[in-house]
């Protein structure tokens, strides 16, 4: 990790809208590009990136060139409109950031078939869908639920700051809407509360299912972010 990235992370407020940016800046396998207006940090091998300040459109294009398809650039809402005007072929989405109405307790939660691990091994990783594996390798911790010997759901703390963590839940087709995601979240939330970190939930404005899940789990809106996605 470059010294400049550490300095930027130290200057950022530890707020829900900045949790993924904090993680990217402190991650060893991240690239940082900067110009007079701001910076872009990109996670090597993952489809995650974030802008700090007001980087130029030229810097944004350079930073995301060659990244995996579907790589999203998190930007603060104050600069999203100006960037999008210059990057008009990119898609702009807005999302609501949520926190729990009542902080998670560190009291361990024991649920049938659910377990939490801080270091997923090769056997566990091999059972995850391919799109979940890269983030699981980088996660602080992961919870999974087993049914009849096979995994059916996972929840990951795949990005974090000093006091927060970003929730990622995936339930396999055929097992959704049966409470498995909620169970995995509750177990991981308790574990992460014991690590001194509370959950953050981000949901795009058009993701009705994610917004509904946030409400079900007890999250309330606390802020906004924007996401730019390059074409292709």
108 located within any domain: no
Is the domain of 81 the same as that of 16? yes
pLDDT, position 3: 58
Mean pLDDT of 2-12: 86
pLDDT, position 44: 87
Who's near 115: CB < 8 A, 6+ residues apart? 143, 144, 146, 187
What is the 8-class DSSP label of residue 18? Answer: G
104 located within any domain: no
Nearest-angstrom CA–CA distance, 109 and 11: 35
231 located within any domain: no
Is the domain of 213 the same as that of 124? yes
Token pair belonging to 54: 């007001």
Strand partners, 38: 53
60 located within any domain: yes
Is the domain of 126 the same as that of 193? yes
**Number of structural domains, the chain?**
2
Of the three residues 30, 62, 96, the one that is the final residue of a domain is: 96
228 located within any domain: no
Is the domain of 51 the same as that of 130? no
Is the domain of 123 the same as that of 65? no
Task: Identify the CA nearest to 166 among candidates 124, 132, 199, 127.
Answer: 199
107 located within any domain: no
Strand partners, 220: 99
pTM beyond 0.75:
yes
Segments forming the whole domain that contains residue 43: 3-96
Q: What is the pLDDT of residues 26-59, one digit of tens each?
A: 998 899 999 999 999 999 888 999 999 999 999 9
Contact call for residues 128 and 136 (beta carbons, < 8 A): yes
Of the three residues 65, 96, 127, the one that is the final residue of a domain is: 96
- The pLDDT confidence band at residue 1, using thresholds 50, 70 and 90, is very low
Q: Which CATH number do you get for residue 130? A: 3.40.630.30
Is the domain of 150 the same as that of 87? no
Of the three residues 63, 96, 129, the one that is the final residue of a domain is: 96
Is the domain of 123 the same as that of 215? yes
Is the domain of 193 the same as that of 126? yes
Q: Is the pLDDT of residue 2 over 70?
A: no
142 located within any domain: yes
Is the domain of 70 the same as that of 149? no
pLDDT, position 7: 92
Is the domain of 56 the same as that of 154? no
Task: Identify the CA nearest to 213 among candidates 153, 137, 129, 128.
Answer: 153
Mean pLDDT of 10-22: 97
150 located within any domain: yes
Contact call for residues 44 and 29 (beta carbons, < 8 A): yes
């Amino acid at each position: 990790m470059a010294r400049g990235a550490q300095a930027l992370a130290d200057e950022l407020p530890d707020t829900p809208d900045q949790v993924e940016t904090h993680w990217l800046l402190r991650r060893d396998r991240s690239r940082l590009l900067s110009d007079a207006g701001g910076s872009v940090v990109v996670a090597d091998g993952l489809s995650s990136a974030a802008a700090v300040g007001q980087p130029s459109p030229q810097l944004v294009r350079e930073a995301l060139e060659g990244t995996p398809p579907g790589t999203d650039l998190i930007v603060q809402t104050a600069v999203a409109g100006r960037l999008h005007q210059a990057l008009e072929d990119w898609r702009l989405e807005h999302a609501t950031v949520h926190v729990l109405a009542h902080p998670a307790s560190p009291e361990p939660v024991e649920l049938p078939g659910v377990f939490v691990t801080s270091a997923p091994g090769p056997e566990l990783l091999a059972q995850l869908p391919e799109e979940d594996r890269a983030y699981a390798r980088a996660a602080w911790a992961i919870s999974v639920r087993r049914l009849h010997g096979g995994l059916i759901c996972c929840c990951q703390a795949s990005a974090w700051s000093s006091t927060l963590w970003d929730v990622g839940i995936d339930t396999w087709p055929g097992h959704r809407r049966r409470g498995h995601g909620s169970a995995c979240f509750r177990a991981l939330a308790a574990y992460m509360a014991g690590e001194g970190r509370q959950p953050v939930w981000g949901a795009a404005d058009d993701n009705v299912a994610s917004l509904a899940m946030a409400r079900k789990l007890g999250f309330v809106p606390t802020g906004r972010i924007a996401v730019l996605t390059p074409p292709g």
